[in-house]
Amino acid sequence: MLMTTLSQWFQLNQELLWFTTIAVDLSFAIILFRFFGRQGLYATIVISLLLANLQGPKLTEIFGLQTSMGVILYSSIYFATDLLSERYGKAEATRAVMIGFTVSIIIIVMISISLMYLPASDLETAELAQRMHAATATLFNFTPRFVFGSLLAYLISQRFDVWIFHLIKKKTRGRHLWLRNNASTMLSQAIDTIIYGVVVWWGIVDFATAMQLALAKYFFKVIIALIDTPFIYLARGWDVTDKDWVASKE
């Protein structure tokens, strides 16, 4: 009953649902960091990429603008790389970016292989199998343009995020975390958005329309970058020790 009421309330208050989703997403990221240290931040990046691929095609409207779940669920990736940069240095953040890039390739390859399997033909399950196959193909039948655009945008923007974060940190002598966190994320998200808009959308729609679609998504990315600032300040001060989790011997 409570969940039904809550679901109905959020359906009538989509903007509050959006802010809640971001807060929950970032909260899970800092919980993983709290318990697992840098490994938790690696896990955050992998989880966010999986969710973005699973739910990215889902479109919705927030503040009257169309956006996708991928934009929302992508937020903790930049948070995780910035926190890795702040706590563990440039090399660890770059390692995390490359892990994320590799995971993205694996996801695309394995899902593409899965789509080659024909649905079951047994009379009792054929109808269900056909529906599930069609639904999966609708979500994950990646075009070469999408694959190339998304991978290129991720790799370039994330590497830039790490580089500019440390450049600002050096120039400000380690002060003003809010500045390097927000500036690095906003600038790298701008690069991500432009690359994705040009490579994926331009050609399907005209250039002006592609940039309009990109600009609408960038609006949400900027807000998310501002929201994650208190979270990175909170997590930066934690005394987190990376541990090797080994099963205890009885």
Q: Domains plus CATH for the chain? A: 15-124+133-236 (1.10.1760)
Note the pLDDT tens digit of each residue in 225-234.
Answer: 889 999 999 9
Longest dimension (CA), the chain: 69
Lookup result for tokens 């889902």: 58
Q: How far is residue 113's CA from residue 141's CA, in Å, rounded to a whole number?
A: 10
Answer whether residue 61 shows pLDDT above 70: yes
CA dihedral (120, 122, 125, 130) in degrees, to 10, reads 40
The per-residue pLDDT for 94 is 95
Confidence band (pLDDT; 50, 70, 90) for 248?
very low
Contact 16, 219 (CB under 8 A): no
Is the pLDDT at 242 greater than 60? The verdict is: yes
Q: What is the mean pLDDT of residues 121-148?
A: 85
Residue 155 has pLDDT above 60, yes or no: yes
- Comparing 34-43, 52-61, 173-182, which segment has the lowest mean pLDDT? 52-61
The residue with tokens 């991500």 is 192
Mean pLDDT of the chain: 87
Amino acid 249: pLDDT: 45
Q: What is the CA radius of gyration of the chain?
A: 20
What is the reported pLDDT for 243?
60
pLDDT value at 250 more than 70: no
Alpha helices in the chain (DSSP H): 2-12, 14-36, 38-55, 69-73, 75-88, 90-114, 126-140, 144-171, 177-196, 207-227, 229-236
Return the higher-pLDDT residue of 216 and 168.
Answer: 168
Q: How confident is the model at residue 245 (pLDDT cuts 50, 70, 90)?
A: low
pLDDT above 70: residue 169: yes
Global pTM? 0.85
